[in-house]
Amino acid sequence: MTSDPVSAAEFAGVDHVVVDIEGTTSASAFVFDVLFPYATERFPAWLDQHAGEADRERIVAEVASEAGLADPSTDAVVATLRAWVVEDRKATPLKELQGLIWEQGFSDSELVSDFFPDALVALRQWHEAGVPISVYSSGSVLAQRNWYAHSPEGDLTDWIAGHYDTANAGPKREAPSYHAIADAIGVDPSRLLFCSDVVAELDAAREAGWQVVRVRRPGEPHATEDSAYPEVAEMTDIRLA
């Protein structure tokens, strides 16, 4: 298959590629229509089943602290978490709990992750060419690992050199997060390429000195935003020189 040269974007001097998940390698609709409801339905049962366990108690304490709950009963915590889901709040304890519930779903084979076909082709090509790939997503590191371990093409975890989330790197729309990731990877920011669908994230990465490419997929929620960044509709149109 030949691709339209007008749609391709070429990057030189890239030592490491960092990819977003939602809207970039994977359809946002899958996250909203499949994953979020899967976890949301299971908040009460999970909190009951894991009472007294360290992860569970820490998550409840963090929810209570962030929401100002005087009495963090299961009902109050579940109501808070469900309100955060509705407003798509990127709260760390919410992301952690979702990650734990999804991990169970993936290991029980109730869940299989979702990738755009071109994303799998591009990631495979980079991996086989020896280009290290990391993931930076607001989904937790645990959720990211499970995402790649339970793909439609099986376990792809050996394609991924590192995982970054809002807990170990920081918010996705702030430049210091991208400095932190560059430090962790050990590569100069100018030799990192960030692939994302969200212009504000690309702004932050660019401010930190990264190369950036916008993955602008028709129908994705952020596809209507304006930007001057190089962009592609499919990740196979990202060329590393």
Give the shortest CB-24-to-Mg ion separation in angstroms.
Answer: 5
User: Least distance from C-beta 48 to Mg ion, angstroms?
Assistant: 33
Complex with Mg ion: residue 64 or 232, whichever CB lies closer: 232
Instruction: Using CB under 5 A, pick the residue from 23, 139, 162, 170 that binds Mg ion.
Output: 23
The reply on whether position 114 binds Mg ion by CB under 5 A is no
Please, which residues have CB within 8 angstroms of residue 23's CB and are 6 or more apart in sequence? 196, 197, 198, 215, 217, 220, 221, 222
Is there binding between residue 231 and Mg ion (CB under 5 A)? no
Position closest to Mg ion via CB: 23
Spatial contact of 189 and 182, defined as CB atoms under 8 Å apart: yes
Helical segments of the chain, H only: 28-30, 36-49, 54-67, 74-86, 92-107, 117-128, 141-149, 175-185, 199-207
Instruction: Classify the phi-psi angles of 12: left when phi > 0, otherwise alpha if psi is within -120 to 50, otherwise beta.
Output: beta
| Residue placing its CB nearer to Mg ion in the complex, 32 or 104 | 32
Residues binding Mg ion: number (CB under 5 A):
4
Tokens describing residue 188: 């100069």
> Is 139 one of the binding residues for Mg ion (CB under 5 A)?
no
Nearer to Mg ion, 23 or 162 (CB): 23
Euclidean distance between the first and the last CA atom of the chain, given in angstroms as a whole number: 20
Give the nearer residue to Mg ion in terms of CB position, either 80 or 146: 146
- Torsion, Cα 104 86 41 19, to 10 degrees, reads -20
Which of 239, 57, 19, 219 lies closest to 135, judged by CA? 19
User: Would you count residue 220 as binding Mg ion (CB under 5 A)?
Assistant: no
17, 19, 22, 118: which one contacts Mg ion (CB under 5 A)? 22
- Taking contact as CB under 5 A, which single stretch among the options 12-20, 60-68, 94-102, 164-172 is the one that binds Mg ion? 12-20
Please report whether residue 237 would count as binding Mg ion according to CB under 5 A.
no
189 binds Mg ion (CB under 5 A): no
165 touching Mg ion, by CB under 5 A: no
Helix residue spans in 110-165 (DSSP H): 117-128, 141-149
CB of 28 to Mg ion, least distance (A): 7
Contact pick of 103, 197, 220, 237 for Mg ion (by CB under 5 A):
197
H or E element that contains 163: strand 160-164
Residues that bind Mg ion (CB under 5 A): 20, 22-23, 197
